[in-house]
């Protein structure tokens, strides 16, 4: 079924909604029934079992940046003082040792991702000290996926070579947009030549997957400027391209996202047109759409994982690794052991104080219920494979009557096709909206404008 009135449907479904890197989403975690002791218990039961049987994913948050990008909603600290690198590395290693002591096993690490902030803010020597300190107490999977986020303006050959020597084969470079007007608005001045240089350096060293991150929906973006950014990107032919929808959430991040006026942003219809331009150009260049907001060349592991229905999604985004156990190290990091979530203290000083005081720096979390786990599985299927299925017994766990009515309305609108005990997404632009009708923590009357970004 084809959409008959795209503009009206965008108006109808362009509401504030989660991006579903987790379920339940963080604003709806049950904090009252969570404590550090329950997190310990979870680690020793289903967490340890998952780690032993299927391996561990490790996310490490490196929160420092030398300048503020006004589009960014990440937890970061803006500074040019690099003397703080050492003590933060010490804290990360101390936190890792605490997890090893709790688990009592030498884990097999399948995946490491260095995020931020700006991981390349840290010197290559400090990154090497961090990673060798972690890897000496772990096994490394034969099919490991080690990746990091690099800023094109400060990622050096030493960064790339050091991390390559430690097993890293994938790097993502934050490009966002090449238009000088847009760059000025988001405070991210970054010439094409810098991106070209680090991309070629990475390939010369031996990285097998280079990703460029682009953002649509930024202030002052126009069709031609986005087209130009994409065409420049295609000149370098990265193996992966992330084409993210800008999440405008200034009420969460304060002045960090107030470097421009709301009127400077594209409307919902204009924003969708920007995406359509990207989709057309990427497909013409041989890229396939993978999940939501991602594109990959057919030979890339992300494309292969999607083709084999092994694509997974967690707080790191889309991943080729299927492990349901992820430990997050560092300020604000979130850990996920499938049956429970835990988030570290966001404030860097509070995080380090807890770690150096000998306690896990967990600040809040959530223990998933049977209903949570069922809905989480459905949403994960939708976000990764754009289809899902269930048994009648599973469907009975949730309020199926209201859900069924909402799904039937979406089928009438042409954005999904219902099947016996399942559905298939027909229009990927609305996948977040489809996930929302499964979400047991949202209600149709709930005001979500100050919780989430717009879905389209």
Q: Annotated binding residues for [4Fe-4S] cluster, as ranges?
A: 65, 69, 72
Structure tokens at 158: 């030493």
Print burial letters for 109-122: b (CB count within 10 Å at least 16), e (below 16): bbbbbbbbbbbbbb
Burial class (CB in 10 A: 0-12, 13-18, 19+), 365: buried
Phi, psi of 283 (to 5 degrees): -65, -40
CA distances from 277 to 40, 121, 198, 229, 280 (A): 48, 33, 26, 11, 5
| Burial class, 161, CB count within 10 angstroms (exposed 0-12 / middle 13-18 / buried 19+) | middle
Distance CA 47, CA 49 (A): 5
DSSP 46: I
Q: CA 246 to CA 244: how far, in whole Å?
A: 6
CB 365, CB 343: distance < 8 Å: yes
User: What gap in Å lies between CA 288 and CA 308, rounded to an integer?
Assistant: 14
Tokens at 229, concatenated: 């950014």
- Which residues sit in the known binding site for S-adenosyl-L-methionine? 59, 71-73, 116-118, 149, 176, 188, 213, 247, 334
Token couple for 303: 């494309």
Handedness of CA 160, 242, 229, 220 (dihedral sign): negative
Q: How far is CA 164 from CA 137, 152, 157, 171, 328, in A?
A: 19, 17, 10, 10, 22
* Range list of β-strands (E), 94-208: 108-116, 139-150, 170-176
The Cα 433–Cα 410 span in angstroms is 9
Which residues on neighbouring strands pair with residue 145, listed in sequence order? 111
Place of tokens 């034969």: 142
Contact 295, 318 (CB under 8 A): no
Numbered residues of the known binding site: 59, 65, 69, 71-73, 116-118, 149, 176, 188, 213, 247, 334
Total residues belonging to the chain: 456
Task: Tell me how far apart the alpha carbons of residues 442 and 433 are, in angstroms, rounded to a whole number.
Answer: 11
- Residue 132 class from Cβ within 10 Å (0-12 exposed, 13-18 middle, 19+ buried)? exposed
- Please name which of 120, 228, 245, 121 lies closest in space to residue 180, comparing C-alpha atoms: 228
The answer to whether 326 touches 316, Cβ cutoff 8 Å, is yes
């Amino acid at each position: 079924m084809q959409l008959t009135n795209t503009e009206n449907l965008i108006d109808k479904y362009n509401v504030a909604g989660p991006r579903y890197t987790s379920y339940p989403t963080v604003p709806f975690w049950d904090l009252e029934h969570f404590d550090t002791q329950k997190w310990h218990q979870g680690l020793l039961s289903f967490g340890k079992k998952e780690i032993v049987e299927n391996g561990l994913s490790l996310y490490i948050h490196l929160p420092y940046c030398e300048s503020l990008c006004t589009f960014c909603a990440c937890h970061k600290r803006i500074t040019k003082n690099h003397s703080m690198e050492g003590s933060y590395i010490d804290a990360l290693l101390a936190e890792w040792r605490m997890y090893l002591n709790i688990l009592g096993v030498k884990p097999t690490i399948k995946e490491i991702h260095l995020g931020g902030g700006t991981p390349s803010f840290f010197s290559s020597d400090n990154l090497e000290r961090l990673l060798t300190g972690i890897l000496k107490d772990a096994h490394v999977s034969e099919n490991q996926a080690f990746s990091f986020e690099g800023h094109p303006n400060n990622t050096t050959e030493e960064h790339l070579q050091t991390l390559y020597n430690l097993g890293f084969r994938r790097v993502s470079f934050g490009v966002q947009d090449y238009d000088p007007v847009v760059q000025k608005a988001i405070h991210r001045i970054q010439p094409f030549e810098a991106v070209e240089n680090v991309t070629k350096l990475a390939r010369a060293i031996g990285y097998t997957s280079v990703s460029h991150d682009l953002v649509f929906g930024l202030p002052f973006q126009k069709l031609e400027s986005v087209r130009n950014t994409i065409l420049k990107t295609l000149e370098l032919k990265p193996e992966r391209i992330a084409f993210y929808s800008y999440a405008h959430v200034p009420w969460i991040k304060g002045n960090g996202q107030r470097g421009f006026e709301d009127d400077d942003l594209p409307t919902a219809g204009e924003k969708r047109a920007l995406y359509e331009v990207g989709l057309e150009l990427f497909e013409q260049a041989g890229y396939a759409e993978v999940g939501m907001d991602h594109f990959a060349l057919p030979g890339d592991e992300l494309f292969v994982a999607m083709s084999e229905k092994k694509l997974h999604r967690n707080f790191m985004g889309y991943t080729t690794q299927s492990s349901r156990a992820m430990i997050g190290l560092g300020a604000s990091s979130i850990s996920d052991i499938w049956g429970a979530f835990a988030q570290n203290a966001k404030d860097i000083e509070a995080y380090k104080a807890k770690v150096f005081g000998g306690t896990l720096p967990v600040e809040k979390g959530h223990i998933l219920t049977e209903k949570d786990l069922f809905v989480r599985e459905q949403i994960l299927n939708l976000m990764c494979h754009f289809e899902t299925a269930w048994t009648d017994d599973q469907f009975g766990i949730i309020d199926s009557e209201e859900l069924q009515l909402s799904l039937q309305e979406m089928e009438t609108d042409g954005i999904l096709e219902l099947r016996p005990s399942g559905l298939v997404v027909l229009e990927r632009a609305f996948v977040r909206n489809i996930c929302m009708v499964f979400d047991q923590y949202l209600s149709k009357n709930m005001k979500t404008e100050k919780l989430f970004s717009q879905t389209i």
